[in-house]
Structure 1
């Protein structure tokens, strides 16, 4: 394992972001899935009963849930440290990495596995 040398503030931000991401994946996302399933069941029941008033309420609740989830995800993405790894099309990008750490990573991986992009 190779460490990523960062300052105290960046390390704290990275730790907070990772902790929040874990809470999102383990608690919030499953709760949203359960709520979505319940909304689908409620929508089907309302449709079978031909109850337009309840169907509209169910759709509004689903819309509010979607907006809250998207806003939460956006807020998590904005809290990320610049040092936080990002996956883009199967590649993992790290910004502002110490050159010595990159050289160690290059030595530990097969040739061509790690590319240095300056800029």
Structure 2
């Protein structure tokens, strides 16, 4: 018959070694104070209105607005390019601009101007 080795069913503290580290005892009170101050500085930097999360949200809003403006101006630019191409190639548009903006008329035409 085999014998089963006895095992412990309770937790035992590990032997302290040179590499074991406990935050409070190894850093001391000054280390804890410095760590707390650094943590406070990080939290303040995140919530400060000049440089923190509110500023990031403001910049994101401005970026979104500028992207919308760029899309609108790009569409307007494409429309203007189509108008320029039409003016260069379409005789109707050329005549319209000559008559309305340059006050030109064909030979033999009488131009009537109405005063409002």
Considering the TM-score relative to the shorter chain, is it more than 0.5? no
Identify which of structures 1 and 2 has the higher relative contact order when contacts are C-alpha pairs closer than 8 Å and 6+ apart.
1
Using the size of structure 2 for normalisation, the TM-score is 0.32
| Greater strand proportion | 1
Larger Rg: 2
Using the size of structure 1 for normalisation, the TM-score is 0.32
